[in-house]
Structure 1
């Protein structure tokens, strides 16, 4: 596997850091998860449980080993530093400054292991006015302007459906770690990587910053191309109170759809700028989609060159044969669901390990 032989020491909790090291573990890295002495990772206790573990903890930490340490105790810190001296990667997600105060920051570890790649994941980064501001995903999305873009039909911001700041920080950190490991082959030296959830989220706004950068004005959300202003990139209610989506705004998709509905005269509206000028087409589609159930529309769209999809709930999504065929859902020996790896190499595929690490305070060394 691609990361076989890579040693990862993971101090992080909750989601961004654990998902980073999970992806590394799936591809051969030896990950030792260092958990707080008292109760371990809080994700062990949050949400629904199945077969003795929370679903969250199982699917963010399977395939790792766990070591319970109290880093304020000298003996435990010494055990940590012994492992850190041989680690290729160290991950932490404390508030800025905490790792240094505990004596396990980058400078302390690099002094005994110059080749270490050390990544700190935090809400707002190790520098800047918001450095010490407490936040989880929602607050980061709010300050980044993303919650305001998630405007509902009532014109009010809605709760984000996914922790995108967590997710993007995790993927940013993975990219940076792999870059640093690649560079280390030539220099023998590691590096310190400062990853902010806020920065990671802002970096993914090129497709939605047009109005503010071009005009200096904030978005009118309901009129914007990606947020409901485009008739062919929108959500529509069906006769059975379900929803469907149109997800391709190119004129060829509009022609394919509207010719099938007998309204080719409306294609012109799909070529207009998003917003009020497209309202006649949006109004027609709102009325048209109310004439059939979601299932009936799925049948109607079969074979048509239109970006169409039913709006499924997450349970329906995990029952999709395509998801299973891609290896994104498996089961362990007890029948617990295991979410797969999205990194699908042809020659060295990942091997997701369903084993959930127990909270362990015995001596653990590198394999």
Structure 2
């Protein structure tokens, strides 16, 4: 079986996380990806520890299935080579600041004259227009400006620093893939390519969805510890006797009733749905006291027998080695190269098809190891 995107050819100028993660998905689903990198300014992901098999683990994961081509984009001969080959490609993705590709002569307007069917996606922090377009930023800044950080976390301690890049991935990578594949479908009708402007901040704003709907149309202000999901109810994490945590999401009446029975807490049924501050604190403290009475593994065994939306908070290593991970094939063994029997364990592509097959041909290559 072929990958779902077999036949699409992608020229990837991106570095770090957002662009490479987007093209990883495209490559896993069968697209041919040529990754252009600078021979003198290595992608910082290549330098990020830890390392395995002589390379940075993040790089060999994010760049699997891609051909690595080393080109100095300041060299006019290399620009000419790209223009000569651009008609072979369906998609270009880049992650430079606005104006950089235009100065290089590789902007959409220039390349579309050579290949009118070209789909060209730019990923930036703040988009191609507006006051912020030339500003630097990181994930934490995009979350701050989007409003997500402002209605998350605790009132006394503020928004939590997250352990993953939400805006980079859910904002940049995933929306880029959606935009690119939408443009591919549109091209089947029109025969024309188009330009896609992905702002990680724009896109992460959309993750507010339900909260933003309440704020915009319902005129309800969103503050930390006021909503259903951010501490306004007993929906929260609770510490066990041995310092681990359980996630409690038993919001619906049947789950709330089940949880109250298991914990022997009638107060949960009486006041669990209340938004009164005193009631909220009373219920949450009652749940915390009860959860604190047993160790993590004890609660795991108890809640494994009851379907009430309570699950253990797993460390990453535990999650990746869990029974669920095995059943759902969260990881895969990827050959180091096409001729190697040695493999590296990596996250798999989570999109599962009934006929098409995701491909894991080889891990990310060393700089310049690939071929056009």
Of 333, 343, 357, 1:349 maps to: 357
Of 229, 233, 242, 2:232 maps to: 229
**CA 329–217 in structure 1, closer or farther in 2 if over 3 Å, else same:** same
- Rounded Cα–Cα distance in structure 1 between residues aligned with 2:79 and 2:154: 49
State yes or no: 1:190 paired with 2:193: yes
- Rounded Cα–Cα distance in structure 2 between residues aligned with 1:155 and 1:356: 40
1:207 matched residue in structure 2: 210
CA contact (8 A) 2:248 2:309 kept: yes
- Rounded Cα–Cα distance in structure 2 between residues aligned with 1:348 and 1:220: 44
The answer to which of 143-152 and 88-97 deviates more is 143-152
Q: Which runs of 4+ in 1 moved over 6 A?
A: none
How many angstroms does 1:152 deviate by?
4.7
Structure 2: runs of 5+ lacking an equivalent: 335-340
SS of the residue aligned with 1:227?
coil
RMSD: 1.9
State yes or no: 1:177 paired with 2:189: no
**CA 276–172 in structure 1, closer or farther in 2 if over 3 Å, else same:** farther
How many angstroms does 1:274 deviate by?
6.9
Q: Superposed, which structure 2 residues align to 1:266-281 within 5 Å?
A: 266-273=268-275, 275-281=277-283
TM-score w.r.t. length of structure 1: 0.93
- Rounded Cα–Cα distance in structure 1 between residues aligned with 2:75 and 2:356: 41
SS of the residue aligned with 1:91?
strand
1:359 matched residue in structure 2: 367
TM-score w.r.t. length of structure 2: 0.92
**CA 317–274 in structure 1, closer or farther in 2 if over 3 Å, else same:** farther
1:83 matched residue in structure 2: 85
**CA 137–261 in structure 1, closer or farther in 2 if over 3 Å, else same:** closer
Of 48, 67, 70, 2:69 maps to: 67
- Rounded Cα–Cα distance in structure 2 between residues aligned with 1:348 and 1:78: 36
Deviations 1:84-126 (A, max 9, x none): 2221000000001111111001001100000000000000000
CA contact (8 A) 2:151 2:223 kept: no
2:337 matched residue in structure 1: none
SS of the residue aligned with 2:208?
coil
CA contact (8 A) 1:147 1:158 kept: yes
Structure 1: runs of 5+ lacking an equivalent: none
How many angstroms does 1:160 deviate by?
1.8
- Rounded Cα–Cα distance in structure 2 between residues aligned with 1:19 and 1:132: 23
- Rounded Cα–Cα distance in structure 2 between residues aligned with 1:258 and 1:266: 6
**CA 274–167 in structure 1, closer or farther in 2 if over 3 Å, else same:** farther
CA contact (8 A) 1:208 1:226 kept: no
**CA 188–213 in structure 1, closer or farther in 2 if over 3 Å, else same:** closer
CA contact (8 A) 2:67 2:369 kept: no
**CA 189–274 in structure 1, closer or farther in 2 if over 3 Å, else same:** farther
Deviations 1:67-93 (A, max 9, x none): 111111111111222222221000000
Matched residues, number: 363
CA contact (8 A) 2:233 2:273 kept: no
1:116 matched residue in structure 2: 118
CA contact (8 A) 1:230 1:275 kept: no
The answer to which of 340-349 and 215-224 deviates more is 215-224
SS of the residue aligned with 2:230?
helix
